[in-house]
């Protein structure tokens, strides 16, 4: 059983991260991912700092970033990540039609990825 560390049982440096996550996201508690990661406080803190920076609005809007995160997670087959980022993308505005098209794109990519590799297709000079 994966050990999940609740706020009440967490050392101060873990609580500080939990509190920042809760404040930024406006949620009453952090997800299991963070409670599991808390077994190694430096990795917890670094991962959260990176995530805040990477997912902040920039040249791409938050919904697009979330859908890219979901596409990458689905392509690597991480069940937990698919569940959490599907929920996050829906919370940021992904409709069922958008979800369906995203699924169609990643399935298409999986298919052509395998074909390109299985045929060892040489990269076109025009792509360079």
Token pair of 114 as six digits? 């395998």
Options 17, 60, 89, 93; binder of a copy of itself; rule CB under 8 A: 60
Binding to a copy of itself by residue 7, rule CB under 8 A? no
Chain residues 90-109 in contact with a copy of itself, contact rule CB under 8 A: 95-109
Q: Does 123 bind a copy of itself (CB under 8 A)?
A: yes
Q: Quote the CA–CA distance of 18 and 110 in Å, as a whole number.
A: 36
**By the rule CB under 8 A, 65 interacts with a copy of itself:** yes
CA atoms within 13 A on the CB side of 108: 6
Residue 73 makes contact with a copy of itself by CB under 8 A: yes
74 binding a copy of itself? (CB under 8 A) = yes
User: CA-CA distance, 16 to 29, in Å (whole number)?
Assistant: 13
Shortest distance, CB of residue 126 to a copy of itself, whole angstroms? 7
14 touches 44 (CB < 8 A): yes
CA distance 28 to 51: 19
Contact criterion met (CB below 8 Å) for 4 and 36 = yes
- Exactly one of 9, 13, 83, 93 binds a copy of itself (CB under 8 A); that residue is 83
Binding mask 17-56 for a copy of itself (x = CB under 8 A): --------------xxx--xx-xx-xx--xx--xx-xxx-
């Amino acid at each position: 059983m994966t050990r999940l560390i609740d706020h009440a049982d967490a050392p101060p440096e873990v609580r500080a991260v939990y509190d920042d996550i809760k404040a930024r996201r406006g949620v009453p508690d952090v997800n299991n991912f963070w409670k599991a990661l808390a077994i190694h406080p430096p990795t917890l803190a670094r991962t959260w700092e990176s995530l805040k920076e990477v997912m902040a609005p920039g040249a791409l809007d938050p919904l697009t970033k979330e859908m890219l995160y979901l596409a990458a997670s689905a392509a690597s087959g991480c069940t937990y990540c698919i569940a959490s980022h599907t929920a996050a993308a829906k919370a940021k505005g992904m409709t069922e039609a958008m979800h369906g098209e995203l699924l169609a794109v990643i399935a298409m990519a999986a298919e052509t990825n395998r074909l390109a590799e299985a045929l060892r297709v040489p990269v076109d000079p025009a792509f360079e």
